[in-house]
Structure formats: C-alpha cells, structure tokens
Chain A
Amino acid sequence: MPVWHNKTKDWVAAGKLVVLGITQEQHPDRCRLFAQWQNFDWPILWDPINILESTAVPIIIAIDEHGIVRSTHPRPETLEAEFLNVAFLPDAVGEAITNSNNAAQQPTRPDIAALQQQAQQEKTAGAQLEFADAAILWGGTTEVTTAIDAYSNALIQAPDDGGALFRRGVAYRIRYDSERRQPDDFQKAVLSWEQALDKNPNQYIWRRRIQQYGPRLEKPYSFYDWVEQARKEIVARGETPVTLIVDPQGAELARPALAFAVAPEEVKSPDPAGRIQRDTDGLIVPEIILVPSRVRPGGSTRVHIALAPNSELRAHWNNESEPLVLWVECPDGWKVSQSRHVVAPLDGQPTSDETRRIDFEVQIPHDAKGSIQLQVFALYNVCEDKDGVCQYLRQDLLIPIQVNSEPQ
C-alpha cells in the first residue's frame, strides 16, 4: 500500500485529517478506475480545465483548520508532529471566515443559465470564461458546445489567454468523446492545446495533455498502460471494475522511446496496383488527426485515423469476411512505425457499426519543408441497408503534414 495512503487512513479514521484529491486529467472515469484499484477512499475532485492553474502534479499541500497553508512539501514522517498535532492560530481573514456563516456550508452548483445570461449581456472575456468553466465542470456534455463557443468568444477579446485556449481544447475533446461529436473535434482540441503551450511552454499540465496522444519520442511515460492490470486485480478481488467511457488505446498506451521505433515486419502492400474498387459512395467516413499538428523537419507525429460507417447510408461493417486492413506507404526518407494494421471485427457479431481507430507514427525527412503528404489506404468489407449490398472496398487517404520550420 502506498506510504501516504497508509498513513492517511489512520489519521482520517482518527478524525485528525481530511484527505482531498484533485485529478488533473481529461477523463474522470479513468481516475475512478485508478482510485478503485488503489483503494483510495477519500473524495477526488475533477479539474480537467486546470482551473487551479497548477503547473505540475503531484502537488501535496497541508491546509490547517482555518484554511491557511501550513506546508507545501509535507512529509509523512513529520506530518503528525508538525501539522496534525499543532493547534494553529488563524490570521484575521481565516478567523473571519471560520466564524462566518459561510464556514463549513455545503457547496452548491453554480447557476449555469444565469452565468450564460450574464455572459450574453456583459460580453466581456471574463464573463464568457466564467460561464464556459461552469458549463464544462457542471453542465455535462449537454453544455459542451455552448462552452466551446464561450471560450472562443473570450479568445476574440483576449487571444493570448493560454488558459482559455487550453480549456477550449479540453471542451473539444470532451465533445469528441461524447455522442455530440462533430467533425474535427479531436484535431481542434490538439490545435487549441498547442496554441496554449505556445503561450506558456512551461505549463506541464498542458503539455501532458498533448503528449497523451502524441508520438513515443515525446512521451515521458506510458499514460494508461496500468488499466489492464488494474482491471485484472479488481476482478480478482471480486469487484466489478469501473466502466470506462472511452478505453485508452494506441498512443495512450504506447511506451516512450529514445529513438524512432519501426516494427519488424516483412509485408507487402495488400493492393499495390490499386485494383480494389473504391468506396465512391462514402460508406465509410474517415477522420484523420495529427499529434502534433505541425512537425519539425526530422520530427515525428502520431497519426490517428478513425473510420466510421456512414449512418446516413445505414452502412455497417461486415464482420464475416476479411478484417479491416490499413496500409501506410513509406516514402523515401520517411520512417513509419508500422505499415500494415489489421483491426479485428467484433466477436460474435455478423455486422456492427462502431468507429474503428488506428494510430501509428511517422518520422519525416530532415529536409522536409512546407506541406508534405502521406499516402494511406484502407481495405474493408462494408454493407449498406439501402440496397442490401455488401462489398469489399478500398478508400485512399492523402494525409497532409505541415512542416514546422520555426526555430526551437
């Protein structure tokens, strides 16, 4: 058991201490799974937009009974003597708050509708941000689009506000993970985060949000490779693991690398002559996201490809034939982490309509300039209900990559 967790359990049980957690990550359900795995029994709060403006995690602060910070680097060995057993005196403000009617009252949610009205009336950046923050924290996915609009309105007046840029990126990604997803939400999230980081390159929390989806060369660690182990251990002790809204995959599981890694594979293009019939009706709709969106010469980017059956055409995957194959051409001077990707169909279902996701990395040449292109194609079995036709089709994807030639 973690050192701090053991220590705090005894103190919490004795009524000497309250442990309060704040998680700085995009997906609260993942933190719930982590807390379940680690048996954290203290309240954990969600701060995806980094409203506290923390620049790093973890941060542990000891706050006394008057709301005053007593240590910014507490140690388990000395916490009891130096903090828990000390009767601190309040300052004037702390005493006033402690003695006021506001002390220890149950908190309430903000009135989002009132904040929205205020933002519409005042039209100031501050009012827009206050409404947008409340919408994201308290409004669920219902309010995410209005939050995005409010952040954008605030940025018109304050275009250099890195915090607003970061929060808008968080909002785009929340919408991307929801039933309200719009085209380009993920790429817009990445662009907003990159713009935020341009304003403050030292913002570790903002940087981590990009690295979560980015290439292995820029990862400090694997972000969510613990999920599988956590689920196994939770099941082994007879519990049901917290269900994740979106399972981490690809980039979020990838381990960091010191050099660009190319998978050892001896494969050939599955359709070198381009003989497979093209998906001219758009039965499968592609979405392409690059993280980072601009690549330095000689640098790498993580390419995320999502392929979704066209709901308007009532298209769906045919799972009773060849699986989806994605082929990545490797031009001269480039490196591709893996050329051939196979996505297995869902077990036991003859048809399905889930979005299938693949991500991989490319490293561009050192002399790359301007806009360069990567050629990819997908082969798949797809059916549509309109005429009841099932076909084996090919879709070509030409991925533009912008080379970032700005000096670092």
Chain B
Amino acid sequence: MQLMGRLNHFRSIGRGISWFSTIVLLASVATVVADDYAPQVGSSHVAFTLPAIDDGRPVSLAQFRGKKVLLIQFASW
C-alpha cells in the first residue's frame, strides 16, 4: 500500500498499517494524569457503551463477555 511509506509516522500507525511501534513510541510520549484512562493488567476494564459509527446502535464492552476482545482506540488522522 502507498501508506507503507509512512511507517515511521504517528499517523500511518493510526491508519492501521503497523500498531506496534507507534504504541511503544506513544507510551513514552503520553503522560497519564490522575483520572486519565489507565487500564491495569489484572484489573477489570472500565465499562462503556458507545454508539457504532455506522448506524448509531449502542455497543458495550459487556456484551462481549465470554469472548476475548482486542480493543483498539484510534483516529483516522
């Protein structure tokens, strides 16, 4: 893909080309402040229900209980 040329750029990661290196890089950039999103390994993930972008239907993390979930927070920019 033409986007492969942007592997070293934050935005190419956000476009789903390669998540790994950007996660490592962003982990060193982002500063977590009290009350900020900070999921802890071994703890329950915070519950949420949000609208789906295609039809606005409510989707919650809880509805996937019983399944393994890969949660990806991103933006198209």
Contacts and interface: CB of A to CB of B under 8 A. Distances in A.
Contacts of B64: 18, 20, 104
Q: Which of A3, A40, A69, A203 has the most CB of B within 10 A?
A: A69
Contact of B50 (A45, A68, A104, A105): A45
B70 A62 contact: yes
A181 interface: no
Nearest to B6: A221
Interface size range on B against A = 35 or more
A107 B56 CA distance: 12
Interface string A15-49: 01111111111001111111100101001111100
A107 B60 contact: yes
A54 interface: yes
B58 interface: yes
B50 A137 contact: yes
B65 A97 contact: yes
A372 interface: no
Contact of A208 (B26, B61, B75): B75
A30 B74 CA distance: 13
A66 B64 CA distance: 9
Given A32-B53, A43-B59, A104 B68 contact: no
Q: Which of A5, A45, A98 has the most CB of B within 10 A?
A: A45
Interface string B22-56: 11101101111101110111111110111111101
Interface stretch (A71-79, A148-156, A351-359): A71-79
Nearest to A7: B70
B61 to A, nearest CB: 7
B44 A28 contact: no
A110 to B, nearest CB: 8
Given A46-B53, A84-B68, A107 B63 contact: yes
A104 B66 contact: yes
Contacts of B67: 17-18, 65
Contacts of A84: 68
A61 B77 contact: no
Contact of B74 (A23, A63, A203): A23
Q: Which of B40, B42, B69 has the most CB of A within 10 A?
A: B69
B13 to A, nearest CB: 6
A223 B37 CA distance: 24
Contacts of A23: 53, 73-76
Contacts of A408: none
A337 interface: no
Interface of A: 1-5, 8, 16-25, 28-35, 38, 40, 43-47, 51-76, 79, 83-84, 91, 93-94, 97-98, 102-109, 137-138, 200, 202-204, 208, 212, 220-224, 226, 229
26 contacts: A1-B1, A2-B19, A5-B16, A21-B71, A21-B72, A25-B76, A30-B76, A44-B53, A46-B52, A47-B50, A53-B36, A55-B30, A55-B31, A57-B73, A58-B74, A63-B68, A65-B66, A97-B65, A105-B63, A137-B50, A138-B58, A202-B30, A202-B33, A220-B10, A221-B10, A226-B76
Interface of B: 1-3, 9-11, 13-20, 22-24, 26-27, 29-33, 35-37, 39-46, 48-54, 56, 58-77
Given A17-B70, A18-B64, A221-B10, 10 more contacts: A20-B71, A24-B75, A31-B76, A43-B52, A52-B37, A94-B44, A137-B50, A204-B30, A208-B77, A223-B77
